[in-house]
């Protein structure tokens, strides 16, 4: 039987400060796999504006296992991962960050579970060393998602995971524009297995997920994976309509039995109008989130544009 290969899908965006160290740790950690498996290190340079590409090319000149996909511009983490899964050739495909927050030694644990027959092995953050704010917002996010999602998406699992070839091929069939890869990965089914790990802090450089981008990802998670907000609109509409019926009954009763006390004043009316008006705008916003996603899908644009590759066959 031919030797099996394992692909590492490695998104990089402005990581000149950690890239060399990351590569060093990755290649030394994966030494024990040598001989047992062929390895492929597929870097996706997501429109970096620093020296990332030069470093990648230097490394690739010395290591045959390194392959590079260069994006025409920054398309974002989720699309970099998508391109990586699209082009990875391995019997197993491991997605991991390139800032050493996902420790390469955990990849060995993922591989062990894959060897046991699991088809999607995802790393769950037992602990994380991010700042208080990031931990708080991330924690809230996973809780809200767990409540809203139409089917379970594992909590505290990031994009660090392994796909068996069969699972990777299925991942490739999901072509939605607003991508939440963890959601898709839960959606495909197959034999899934969690592996706990301790998430390290970023070795150097800054996070590329400031609050604004985290919010964007959360919106994609909610609106691409849940119709709960739409159902909430209906429920809330029914509630407000119910309250207004009570108001009508009250008005009629007061008018008939206590004519002197009628005319409760205009402030109530103004508050009610503003309240309902505000709610309606929020509801319109929710509808807009879905319509915007329909709009994005209907254009059918390519998900990402590759400007050049190194060692990768381009078929997309």
In the complex, the residues that contact Mg ion under the rule CB under 5 A are 97, 99, 101
**Residue 139 Cβ, how far from ligand UDP at the closest point, in Å?**
14
What is the distance between the alpha carbons of residues 152 and 145, in angstroms, rounded to a whole number? 9
Q: Which is nearer to ligand UDP, 18 or 119 (CB)?
A: 18
Give the strand pairing for 192-199 and 5-12.
unpaired
- Of 77 and 182, the one with the shorter C-beta distance to ligand UDP is 77
Angstrom CA distances, 264 to 69, 218, 268, 274, stand at 69, 44, 8, 17
Six-digit token string for 76: 């974002």
Residue nearest to Mg ion (CB): 101
Binding partner selected for residue 208 from ligand UDP, Mg ion, none, CB under the kind-specific 5 to 8 Å limit: ligand UDP
**Partner whose binding site includes residue 209, from Mg ion, ligand UDP, none (CB under 5 to 8 Å by kind):** ligand UDP
For ligand UDP, which residue of 15, 40, 86, 119 counts as binding (CB under 6 A)?
15
Q: Which of residues 43-102 bind ligand UDP (CB under 6 A)?
A: 46, 74, 76-77, 80, 97-99, 101
| Residue 90 interacts with which of Mg ion, ligand UDP, none, CB < 5 to 8 Å by class | none
Q: How far is the CB of 78 from ligand UDP (least distance, A)?
A: 8
Tell me which long-range contacts 129-137 makes (C-beta under 8 A, separation of at least 24).
129/198, 129/199, 129/200, 129/201, 130/199, 130/201, 133/211, 134/207, 137/211, 137/214
Cβ proximity to Mg ion, 207 vs 244, nearer residue: 207
**30 is a contact residue toward ligand UDP (CB under 6 A):** no
In this chain, which of 116, 207, 227, 244 binds ligand UDP, going by CB under 6 A?
A: 207
Asked whether the beta carbons of 303 and 177 are under 8 A apart, the reply is yes
Q: What is the DSSP letter of 37?
A: B
Stretch of 177-185, 201-209, 239-247, 267-275 lying at the interface with ligand UDP (CB under 6 A): 201-209
Nearest CA among 302, 73, 292, 77 for reference residue 181:
77
Work out whether strand 157-164 and strand 5-12 pair parallel, antiparallel, or are unpaired. unpaired
- At closest approach, how far in Å is the CB of 97 from Mg ion? 5
- State which of residues 13, 23, 122, 223 lies at the interface with ligand UDP (CB under 6 A): 13
- Shortest Å distance, C-beta 36 to ligand UDP: 26
Report the distance separating Cα 167 and Cα 189, nearest Å.
8
- How many angstroms separate the CA atoms of 221 and 149, rounded? 8
Structure tokens at 152: 């379970």
Choose one: 11-19, 60-68, 116-124, 238-246; the region binding ligand UDP (CB under 6 A): 11-19
Distance CA 255, CA 262 (A): 6
What's the closest the beta carbon of residue 58 comes to ligand UDP, in angstroms?
A: 18
- State the nearest-atom distance from the C-beta of 144 to ligand UDP, in Å: 17
Question: Which of 182, 174, 22 lies closest to 107 in space, CA to CA?
Answer: 22
Q: Which residues contact 288 (CB under 8 A, 6 or more apart)?
A: none
Are 63 and 30 spatial neighbours (Cβ–Cβ below 8 Å)? no
Quick check: 9 and 85 in contact, CB under 8 A?
yes
Looking at residues 140 to 199 of the shown chain, list those that interact with ligand UDP (rule: CB under 6 A). Answer: none
| Contact positions vs ligand UDP (CB under 6 A) | 11-13, 15, 46, 74, 76-77, 80, 97-99, 101, 202, 207-209
């Amino acid at each position: 039987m031919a030797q099996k290969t394992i692909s590492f899908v490695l998104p990089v965006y402005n990581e000149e400060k950690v890239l060399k160290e990351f590569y060093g740790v990755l290649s030394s950690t994966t030494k024990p796999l040598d001989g047992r498996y062929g390895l492929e290190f597929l870097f996706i340079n997501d429109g970096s504006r620093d020296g990332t590409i030069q470093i990648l090319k230097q490394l690739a000149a010395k290591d045959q296992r390194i392959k590079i996909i260069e994006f025409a511009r920054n398309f974002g983490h989720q699309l970099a991962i998508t391109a990586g899964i699209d082009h990875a050739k391995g019997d197993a495909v491991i997605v991991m960050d390139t800032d050493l927050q996902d420790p390469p030694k955990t990849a060995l644990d993922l591989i062990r579970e894959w060897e046991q027959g699991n088809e999607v092995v995802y790393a769950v953050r037992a602990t994380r060393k991010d700042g208080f704010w990031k931990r708080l917002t991330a924690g809230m996010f996973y809780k809200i998602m767990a409540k809203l999602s139409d089917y379970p998406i594992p909590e505290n699992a990031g994009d660090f995971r392994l796909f068996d070839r069969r699972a990777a091929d299925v991942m490739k069939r999901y072509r939605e524009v607003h991508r939440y890869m963890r959601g898709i990965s839960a959606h495909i089914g197959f034999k899934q297995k969690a592996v706990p790990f301790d998430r390290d802090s970023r070795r150097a450089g800054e996070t590329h997920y400031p609050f604004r981008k985290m919010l964007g990802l959360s919106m994609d998670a909610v609106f691409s994976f849940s119709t709960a907000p739409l159902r909430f609109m209906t429920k809330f509409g029914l509630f407000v309509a119910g309250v207004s019926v009570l108001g009508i009954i009250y008005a009629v009763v007061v008018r008939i039995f206590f004519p002197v006390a009628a005319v409760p004043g205009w402030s109530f009316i103004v508050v009610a109008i503003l309240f309902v008006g505000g709610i309606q705008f929020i509801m319109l916003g929710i509808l807009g989130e879905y319509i915007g996603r329909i709009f994005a899908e209907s254009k059918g644009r390519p998900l990402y544009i590759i400007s050049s590759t190194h060692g990768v066959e381009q078929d997309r």
